[in-house]
Structure 1
Amino acid sequence: MTAGTGPERTKRRRNVPGGGGAGGQSLSWRKQKAVRIHEALTCDPVDVETLREAAASEGGLLTQEIRRRVWPKLLNISVYSLPPKPGPALRVNHHYYNQVLIDVRRSLKRFPRGMAELERSVLQDQLLDMILYVLRSHPELHYYQGYHDVAVTLLLTAGLRLGTAMLQTLSTHHLRDFMDPTMERTRSVLSYLMPLIQSESPVLHDFMLRSEVGCIFALSWLITWYGHVLSDFHQVLRLYDFFLASHPLTPVYCAAQMVLMRESEVLQVDCDMPSVHQFLSMIPTDFPYETLISRTHTLFQKYPPSELERQTSLRLLKSISAASFRSLQISSAQQRPDFVLRQQATPSLDVLPVRPQNTLVKLAVWGISASLGAAAFVVTQTALEWGPDLLLGLF
């Protein structure tokens, strides 16, 4: 059966405006995708596989409002069981406080241009407390420079409490290899890069070997999920959609594919370490990210980690992130939809069920979520729970 036809397509047309009947106009792919996401979120249990497919496929999760609902489900987080709001008390006598403070102060470029200095200052304080909360809660985790780039993306997208919950789960799963006391596991993850390039292009691989460029150019890509090196926040969000829905080693496959897509240009560079390193470190602003994501997915399917290790005789440290991914997949598949969780939850100041009015469906959640966190999240969440008819008004 061809995609987009048959009973499933007919059913969807009956449930959304303009989807069928005489003279009805077919919905745009964005609206169709938004409805699929809504249906997956309201299934009981939540259809996490459909959410993963939506996050990885063209366009990703479409809007900030939708991300606030889907990202927690990808990480098995309930918005009604969030950690307490982190506060300044966490800063007292913490051995990473000074290092985190320095990095947070240097994070100015990660905030939207034109943001008022006072608002940015408040967000930077929240970022500091958010990071220290996770580190205090998990003494086995060690801070690394660049961790704050991941944290600020979550903060700007989901607010303080929800962002902290997601950072905590990411730190014990996807980012775990980078949070050892030494960089041995990080180097182990980087070791996948050259074999992947060799598998697809021996010519490019040999050129890079002769240049002695190594893999260090991709280090900041992996440990910040590209947040540190991309200036366009929408590009960062698109990659986060993909990585949150994928295997923890996907960012290194993405790095390999990014190099492969620039092969012809790389081969024109002088074959020496400074020249090749400088070229690879500068990611073009117009890089085709949808193509990158699609090809990265294909590359992962073609050379999964176990197969790549077998073919190349890689002897690597065991990836804690990869080992924990399966358990996260299984647990996330048992989640209840948010409207069920809300009925079971005891109301609190942070998660009051609020009814949207008029233009609240199109909240400018950028600034609001940063200040109000879960409260703003629930406003949007409730709007989405009203059903596909209201959801379509977002587009």
Structure 2
Amino acid sequence: MGTNATMQCETMSLLSPPGMSYFDSKKKRKLAKIYQALSSDPIDVATLRCMAIGEGGLLTDEIRCKVWPKLLSINTDDLPPLPGKELREDNKDFQQVLLDVRRSLRRFPPGMPDDQREGLQEDLIDIILHVLKRNPQLHYYQGYHDIVVTILLVVGDRLATALVEKLSTHHLRAFMNPTMDSTKHILNYLMPIIDQMNPEVHDFMQSAEVGTIFALSWLITWFGHVLSDLRHVVRLYDFFLACHPLMPIYFAAVIPQDLPYETLISRAGDLFVQFPPSRLAREAAQQQAERTAASAFKDLELASGQQRRDAVLRQCFRKWPRGEERTKSILAKPRMPRTRTNRFAKLAVMGLAVMGLTVAAAVARSALEWAPKFELQIFP
């Protein structure tokens, strides 16, 4: 990693709560594996992916500064220059980006000095406009800034610019089309996953006609807007960066469960292994989302020249205790008969949609406060 990038990462990591002053033996072994993988020639990206997926993720922001670029095949010795303020002139997205960034106060660590936070907000605007300027095929959406600010807080502005551009042209590509069609197609994967995980809940939600709109903000912000604790957000980003671009929809399916946070991540991985996107596409009868996200994913794999992430994911989850048995127990649940419902049941399921966040709040202290622009302003 270049000297400037390294110094900036070490500075930015101070923004996160320490919490890692003491490492037990398990964490020490994990740290040793991460640094060994980073020092390998060539760098052992497959091991880094497993470390990002496994319990606890990458442990510290300092490590994330070193590993996140490797997961996205970014050369930190040749980072682009910082974006300038001139990008704001006559930019069609500037006003909307400005409004969204101004509303992002809660995304910054509590107690951060106002001048520091305001400086980061200015950096946030410039990074977003820079990526959009360099990639005119990309279209800004409300919620994009929630992903960018998380990366900015961890790695600083210069490295964040490179990371965000790579993510925008690969993992987030489906969300940045001119219309929401691709995003809605990806949301259609949610019900088939829930069906495999819990047929009774699936049938109830289907009969209640609740749809999948409740998960929209989770998906397009990578849960960055709805989780209040930055530590939980960056732990999820470790997981998502190391996995297939569709992994957030698997995680969305396991959220309405009162389980420990790491168990939710593990279960999402189990479901991905057992029910890959290709199988879900057939069940959902929606092929477009797979073509959009998977083609971008394939491009990234060709660019990186590293082991396929889905293969690494399968390898990693096979090593997790009782992963296979846990998945089998999920799949062994008998199908329940379909039941009739009324508007009260539908309201109950809509409550479950928010309850998904309430349950997550018990695990990850999340809150739903976001109102994205989606068709006819479905959210109030």
**Are the counterparts in 2 of residues 185 and 319 from structure 1 also a CA contact under 8 Å?**
no
Distance 2:300 2:187 in 1: 23
The RMSD of aligned alpha carbons is 1.7
1:87 and 2:87 aligned: no
**Are the counterparts in 1 of residues 189 and 284 from structure 2 also a CA contact under 8 Å?**
no
Mapping for residues 44-59 of structure 1, pairs under 5 Å: 44-59=41-56
Change (3 A) 1:324 1:299: same
Deviation track 1:4-59 (CA, whole Å, cap 9, x = no partner) reads xxxxxxxxxxxxxxxxxxxxxx9701010011010111111111000000000001
Partner of 1:197: 194
Partner of 1:115: 112
**Are the counterparts in 1 of residues 183 and 289 from structure 2 also a CA contact under 8 Å?**
no
Q: 1:186 aligns with which of 183, 192, 196?
A: 183
Distance 1:235 1:172 in 2: 25
Partner of 1:131: 128
Distance 2:40 2:285 in 1: 43
Distance 1:118 1:132 in 2: 22
Shift of 1:309: 2.0
Residue type matched to 2:36 in 1?
A: E
Q: 1:231 aligns with which of 214, 225, 228?
A: 228
Residue type matched to 2:129 in 1?
A: L
Residue type matched to 1:34 in 2?
A: L
1:160 and 2:157 aligned: yes
User: Higher relative contact order by CA 8 Å / sep ≥ 6: 1 or 2?
Assistant: 1
SS in 1 for 2:90: coil
Q: 2:58 aligns with which of 48, 57, 61?
A: 61
Distance 2:113 2:24 in 1: 39
Partner of 1:301: 273
Percent identity over paired residues:
56
**Are the counterparts in 1 of residues 53 and 242 from structure 2 also a CA contact under 8 Å?**
yes
Change (3 A) 1:113 1:317: closer
1:140 and 2:112 aligned: no
SS in 2 for 1:208: helix
**Are the counterparts in 2 of residues 196 and 253 from structure 1 also a CA contact under 8 Å?**
yes
**Are the counterparts in 2 of residues 150 and 224 from structure 1 also a CA contact under 8 Å?**
yes
Mapping for residues 23-38 of structure 1, pairs under 5 Å: 28-38=25-35
SS in 2 for 1:189: helix
Change (3 A) 1:312 1:86: closer
Shift of 1:322: 1.6
Shift of 1:307: 1.5
Shift of 1:289: 1.6
Distance 1:46 1:331 in 2: 15
Distance 1:27 1:239 in 2: 22
1:244 and 2:216 aligned: no
**Are the counterparts in 1 of residues 185 and 286 from structure 2 also a CA contact under 8 Å?**
no
Distance 1:201 1:314 in 2: 21
Residue type matched to 1:181 in 2?
A: P
**Are the counterparts in 1 of residues 56 and 235 from structure 2 also a CA contact under 8 Å?**
yes
**Are the counterparts in 2 of residues 85 and 161 from structure 1 also a CA contact under 8 Å?**
yes
Partner of 2:359: none
Distance 1:89 1:312 in 2: 45
**Are the counterparts in 1 of residues 173 and 293 from structure 2 also a CA contact under 8 Å?**
yes
SS in 1 for 2:255: helix
Distance 2:284 2:160 in 1: 38
SS in 2 for 1:204: helix
Shift of 1:330: 4.2
Partner of 1:361: none
SS in 1 for 2:111: coil
Residue type matched to 1:91 in 2?
A: R
Q: How many residues align?
A: 285
**Are the counterparts in 1 of residues 38 and 44 from structure 2 also a CA contact under 8 Å?**
yes
**Are the counterparts in 2 of residues 75 and 169 from structure 1 also a CA contact under 8 Å?**
yes
Q: 2:260 aligns with which of 270, 288, 294?
A: 288
- Structure 2 stretches lacking a partner, 5+ long: 1-22, 308-380
TM-score (norm 1): 0.70
Deviation track 1:206-242 (CA, whole Å, cap 9, x = no partner) reads 1112322211111000100000000000000100000
Residue type matched to 1:296 in 2?
A: A
**Are the counterparts in 1 of residues 72 and 163 from structure 2 also a CA contact under 8 Å?**
yes
Change (3 A) 1:334 1:316: closer
Partner of 2:73: 76
Residue type matched to 2:33 in 1?
A: R
Partner of 1:102: 99
**Are the counterparts in 1 of residues 187 and 212 from structure 2 also a CA contact under 8 Å?**
yes
Change (3 A) 1:145 1:29: same
Deviation track 1:43-81 (CA, whole Å, cap 9, x = no partner) reads 111110000000000010000110000000001111111
SS in 2 for 1:308: helix
Shift of 1:320: 2.4
